[in-house]
Structure 1
Amino acid sequence: MQSLEDRYINAGLRNPDLIEAALALAENRLHDAEPLLKRHLKADPFDVAAMRMLAELAGRIGRYRDSENLLRRALELAPGFTAARSNLALVLYRQNRTSEALEMLDALLEFDPAHSANSNLKAAALGRLGDYQEAIALYEKVLSDVPGQPKIWMSYGHVLKTVGRLDESIAAYRRALEIAPMLGEVWWSLANLKTIRFDEHDISAMENALNTPRLKSEDKLHLHFALGKAFEELKQPDASFEHYNAGNMLRRAMQDHDPETTSRQVERAKASFTSAFFARHRKTGHLAVDPVFIVGMPRAGSTLIEQILSSHSMIEGTSELADIPALAARIGARGQGIEAIEAAELKSMG
Structure 2
Amino acid sequence: MKKISVDSALSKAKLCVKRNELLEARKLYQAVLIAFPKNKTARQALASLNNRKQLGGDQNPPKEITQELITLYNQGRLALVVDKAKALLKLYPRSSIVWNILGTSAAQIGKLSQAIDAFKKTAILQPKDAEPHFNMGTAFQDKGKLAEAVKAYRKALSLKADYAKAFNNMGTALHDQGKLEEALEAYKNVISLKPNDALVIINMGAVLQDLGKLEEAVRVYKNALSINSNDADLYYNLGNALSDQSKLEEAVKAYNNALSIKPDYVEALNNMGTSFRHQGKQKEALSAYNKVLSLNPNHFGAHRNLSTLVTYKKDNPQINKIKELMNHSDLSADSRCLLHYTYAKINEDLGDLEKAFDHYAIGGALRKKQLAYDIGQDQRLFKKIKTVAPKLLEHSLTETVRKLDITPIFILGMPRSGTTLVEQIISCHSQVHGAGELPLLARFSSSIMAGKQDVSVENLQEVRKNYLDGLKKVSEGKFIVTDKMPHNFMYIGLICNVFPEAKIVHVRRNPAATCLSNFKHYFHSRGLGYPNDIKDIVNYFELYCDLMRFWDESYRNKIYHLDYDKLTLEQEVETKSLMSHLNLNWEASCLS
- Indicate which of 290, 299, 307 corresponds to 1:183: 299
Residue 6 of structure 1: aligned partner: none
Residue 227 of structure 1: aligned partner: 343
Larger Rg: 2
- Indicate which of 260, 263, 267 corresponds to 1:144: 260
The amino acid that maps onto 2:200 is A
Residue identity over aligned pairs, in percent, reads 18
The amino acid that maps onto 2:188 is R
The amino acid that maps onto 2:154 is L
Question: Does the C-alpha gap of structure 1 residues 83 and 312 become closer, same or farther in structure 2, counting only changes over 3 Å?
Answer: closer
Whole-Å separation in 2 of the counterparts to 1:102 and 1:117: 13
Residue 159 of structure 1: aligned partner: 275
- 1:84 to partner: Cα distance: 2.2
Give the TM-score of the pair, scaled to structure 2.
0.48
- 1:268 to partner: Cα distance: 6.4
- 1:292 to partner: Cα distance: 4.3
CA contact (8 A) 1:191 1:229 kept: yes
The 5 A counterparts of 1:325-340 are 325-331=442-448, 335-337=452-454, 339-340=458-459
SS in 1 for 2:187: helix
Whole-Å separation in 1 of the counterparts to 2:262 and 2:465: 41
CA contact (8 A) 1:177 1:186 kept: yes
CA contact (8 A) 1:182 1:212 kept: no
Per-residue CA deviation, residues 272-293 of structure 1 (Å, 9 max, x unaligned), is: 76123352576665666xx743
Question: Does the C-alpha gap of structure 1 residues 313 and 104 become closer, same or farther in structure 2, counting only changes over 3 Å?
Answer: closer
The 5 A counterparts of 1:59-78 are 59-76=175-192
- 1:12 to partner: Cα distance: 5.8
Question: Does the C-alpha gap of structure 1 residues 135 and 274 become closer, same or farther in structure 2, counting only changes over 3 Å?
Answer: same
- Indicate which of 151, 155, 167 corresponds to 1:38: 151
Whole-Å separation in 2 of the counterparts to 1:139 and 1:329: 32
Whole-Å separation in 1 of the counterparts to 2:381 and 2:204: 28
Whole-Å separation in 2 of the counterparts to 1:63 and 1:198: 46
| Higher mean displacement: 156-165 or 196-205 | 196-205
CA contact (8 A) 1:12 1:18 kept: no
The amino acid that maps onto 1:182 is N
CA contact (8 A) 1:13 1:19 kept: no
CA contact (8 A) 2:427 2:434 kept: no
- 1:147 to partner: Cα distance: 1.3
Asked if 1:93 is matched to 2:209, the reply is yes
CA contact (8 A) 2:304 2:341 kept: yes
In the alignment, structure 1 segments of 5+ residues that lack a partner are 1-10
- Indicate which of 371, 392, 409 corresponds to 1:274: 392
The amino acid that maps onto 2:444 is L
- Indicate which of 394, 417, 420 corresponds to 1:306: 420
Residue 197 of structure 1: aligned partner: 312
- 1:313 to partner: Cα distance: 10
Give the TM-score of the pair, scaled to structure 1.
0.77
Question: Does the C-alpha gap of structure 1 residues 281 and 216 become closer, same or farther in structure 2, counting only changes over 3 Å?
Answer: farther
Question: Does the C-alpha gap of structure 1 residues 261 and 314 become closer, same or farther in structure 2, counting only changes over 3 Å?
Answer: closer
SS in 2 for 1:245: helix
CA contact (8 A) 1:265 1:329 kept: no
Whole-Å separation in 2 of the counterparts to 1:38 and 1:14: 9
CA contact (8 A) 2:171 2:187 kept: yes
Residue 293 of structure 1: aligned partner: 410
CA contact (8 A) 1:269 1:328 kept: no
SS in 1 for 2:205: helix
- 1:234 to partner: Cα distance: 1.2
Aligned residues: 327
SS in 2 for 1:294: strand
- 1:226 to partner: Cα distance: 1.4
Per-residue CA deviation, residues 36-71 of structure 1 (Å, 9 max, x unaligned), is: 342342354444323322322333454323322332
SS in 2 for 1:320: coil
Asked if 1:250 is matched to 2:366, the reply is yes
Question: Does the C-alpha gap of structure 1 residues 336 and 280 become closer, same or farther in structure 2, counting only changes over 3 Å?
Answer: farther
- 1:130 to partner: Cα distance: 4.3
Question: Does the C-alpha gap of structure 1 residues 168 and 344 become closer, same or farther in structure 2, counting only changes over 3 Å?
Answer: closer
- 1:254 to partner: Cα distance: 1.3
Question: Does the C-alpha gap of structure 1 residues 56 and 153 become closer, same or farther in structure 2, counting only changes over 3 Å?
Answer: same
The amino acid that maps onto 1:166 is Q
Per-residue CA deviation, residues 157-211 of structure 1 (Å, 9 max, x unaligned), is: 0111222221111110111122233333222222233x53265421221232334
Question: Does the C-alpha gap of structure 1 residues 256 and 328 become closer, same or farther in structure 2, counting only changes over 3 Å?
Answer: farther
Whole-Å separation in 1 of the counterparts to 2:334 and 2:298: 11
Question: Does the C-alpha gap of structure 1 residues 175 and 292 become closer, same or farther in structure 2, counting only changes over 3 Å?
Answer: same
